A = this chain, B = another copy of it.
Amino acid sequence: MDKKLIGSCIIGQSGGPTAVINASAYGVIKTALEAEEITKVYGAAHGIRGVLDDRLYVMDMEDPKELELLLHTPSSELGSCRYKIADPAKDDTDYKRILEIFKKYNVRYFFYNGGNDSMDTCNKISKYMQSVGYECRVMGVPKTIDNDLYGTDHCPGFASAAKFIATSCMEIDKDMHVYDKPMITVVEAMGRHAGWLTASAALATCFGGGPDLIYLPEVDFDMDKFIADVDRVHKEKGNVFIVVSEGIHYADGSFVSEAKTSATDGFGHAQLGGLAAMLASKLGEHTGIKVRGIELSLLQRCGAHIASATDVEETFNAGKVAVEKAIAGETDKMVAFERVMEDGKYSCKFVTVPLTLAANTEKKVPVEWINAEGNGLKKEFIDYVLPLVQGEVNVPKENSLPRYAKLKKILAE
């Protein structure tokens, strides 16, 4: 056990928001407020930008009841950023400034809540503080609907987005089968490089009704093969339900979404309506039947009303564990989830992995979980994702509409 480290802490949020990222923030804030080693709890306004700009909210001055509402408030309540911090070997301006702020507020604990890039930021800050001999325990708290962080079985936020996608696909499936004329539906889910989210549409197919065809960025896309797949399902079943990842790409690496619309308007203008609209247009021309393109857009990442209770609980605990481990002496780590299966029952063990390992490494859907045709998922994926989407949340309501946290956000001086 390391020596007791007394001082204040900062929690920052970064990258694209999720339905549950505030549950992690609440895990950090609540645990830190209760910890005797932590003298003050600051929330950085818009991630690392809030530190650089000396804009820190004093969490000690917030109403505990409002803070608790963070558990079910989507998006990043403290604000996020996409600020890319420099390599300290080339430019240490930002790091000097961060050190200055850390000294000003006696910050001895730094918690950063985000995805790959955020873990990189976290890692660089940690290494810099070590290099200048400023004692500060730095912990990364993972977050990303993309589920592509290395070193963790799954990522906070993924399961809630997966549950939104699976449920929406089950609803869309009911809707698209209503008429006595066949139609084709193309749904576009998020995931630029990893297909985890898109794959989760397979839950709908498995447990009710869902897509006939699913295309992930893990498999090179082939337009002729795609059209042949659609023709086959159309012939067999009439209706065709397709889910594609925004990140599907051809063998040469170019994104399908960036394809020119020469087939459509003859002038090669890029489509505005996104991938789903583009594929819908292409299939409409090819088949002559009604085609609908649906982009789930950011609804899939902010759908707190249908979050996975398992996700919310684990995500809260990720924040809690980060504080507990830091107080116990750990630093330079990211909290990670380890899957434990005992007698067929799932549970989640909280571990830590070195920040260096977590930063900038992407985890993709294993190719052996994708079917041979490259247009669907195998049972292995269902077994992986199903335990994560379990449990319903009970979002606090006023007037039968969500009641989200309203923080005072009083700036530290």
Binds B, one of A27-35, A59-67, A84-92, A301-309: A301-309
Interface centre among A179, A292, A401 (most CB of B within 10 A): A401
Q: Is A82 an interface residue, CB under 8 A from the partner?
A: yes
Q: In the bound complex, how far is the Cα of B296 from the Cα of A308, in angstroms? A: 22
In contact, A404 and B208 (Cβ under 8 angstroms)? yes
Say yes or no: A46 contacts B180, CB within 8 Å: yes
Q: Is the CB of B81 within 8 A of A179?
A: yes
Pair B179/A46 contact, Cβ less than 8 Å: yes
Q: Is A299 an interface residue (CB 8 A)?
A: yes
Mask: chain A, 66-91; 1 = CB below 8 Å from B; 0 = not: 00000001111101111000000000
Determine the distance from Cα of A297 to Cα of B274 in the docked complex, in whole angstroms. 14
| 28 A–B contacts, CB within 8 A, in A order | A17-B178, A49-B180, A75-B171, A75-B175, A75-B177, A77-B174, A81-B180, A82-B179, A166-B401, A167-B305, A170-B402, A171-B302, A171-B304, A172-B302, A174-B302, A176-B298, A203-B401, A207-B398, A208-B401, A264-B272, A277-B277, A294-B298, A295-B295, A295-B297, A296-B299, A305-B306, A389-B400, A389-B401
Contacts A171-B302, A176-B298, A207-B398 known; 5 new A-B pairs at CB < 8 A: A81-B180, A175-B302, A203-B401, A273-B277, A277-B277
Q: Which of B79, B179, B272, B294 contacts A281 (CB 8 A)?
A: B272
Q: Report if A174-B404 is in contact (Cβ < 8 Å); known contacts: A49-B180, A299-B168.
A: yes
The one of B17, B178, B296 that contacts A175, using a Cβ cutoff of 8 Å: B17
In contact, B174 and A400 (Cβ under 8 angstroms) = no
Name the residue of chain B whose CB is nearest to the CB of A404. Answer: B208
**Chain B residues whose C-beta falls within 8 Å of the C-beta of A180 in the assembled complex:** 45-46, 49, 79, 81
Residues of B within 8 A of A82 (CB): 179
Residues of chain A whose beta carbon lies under 8 Å from any beta carbon of chain B: 17, 19, 45-46, 49, 73-77, 79-82, 163, 166-168, 170-172, 174-180, 203-204, 207-209, 264-265, 267, 269, 271-274, 277-278, 281, 292, 294-299, 301-306, 308, 386, 389-392, 397-404
Contacts of A400 in B (CB 8 A): 163, 308, 389-392
6 A-B pairs closest in CB distance: A273-B273, A75-B174, A171-B302, A175-B302, A46-B180, A390-B400
